């Protein structure tokens, strides 16, 4: 009986969450990227809470004066729930605006991303 209740609570929750962060700009013009995929419930919930804390609709991605040669981060989140359409979120965040939840999200994705050989 409890199993049915647990299943009902999870209806519509994401089964897979993919986050990609790409950095562009700077002097070298390199464009490294990092990505992470979560598919286990506690991990998905943790990532989703961080994603939800970011100010998605209020961020215009504009670069302020003196930031032309600084890094710009492109953040893409794909939330793939089992019974609903896929939700995608994109943001472009200049380095000067990378604070609070944006900085935490970028740092956490970088830390969790598998290391690539150089």
The more confident residue out of 26 and 70 is 70
pLDDT at 9 exceeding the cut of 70 = no
pLDDT of residue 81: 77
The more confident residue out of 116 and 22 is 22
What pTM did the predictor assign?
Answer: 0.77
pLDDT of residue 52: 93
The alpha carbon of 11 is separated from its chain's Cα centroid by a whole number of angstroms, namely 22
Tokens standing for 85? Answer: 């359409």
Task: State the average pLDDT over residues 58-75.
Answer: 68
> What tens digit of pLDDT does each residue of 73-117 get?
999 999 987 767 888 999 999 888 899 999 999 999 999 998 654
pLDDT of residue 5: 36
Mean pLDDT for the chain overall? 80
The more confident residue out of 29 and 105 is 105
pLDDT of residue 25: 76
pLDDT of residue 40: 87
């Amino acid at each position: 009986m409890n199993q049915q209740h647990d299943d009902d609570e999870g209806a519509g929750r994401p089964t897979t969450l993919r986050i990609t962060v790409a950095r562009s700009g700077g002097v070298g013009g390199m464009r490294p990227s990092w990505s992470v995929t979560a598919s286990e419930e506690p991990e998905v919930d943790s990532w989703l809470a961080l994603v939800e804390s970011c100010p998605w609709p209020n961020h215009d991605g504009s670069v302020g004066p003196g930031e032309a040669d600084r890094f710009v981060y492109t953040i893409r989140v794909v939330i793939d729930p089992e019974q609903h359409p896929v939700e995608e979120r994109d943001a472009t965040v200049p380095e000067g605006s990378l604070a609070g939840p944006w900085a935490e999200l970028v740092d956490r994705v970088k830390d969790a991303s598998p290391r690539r050989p150089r």
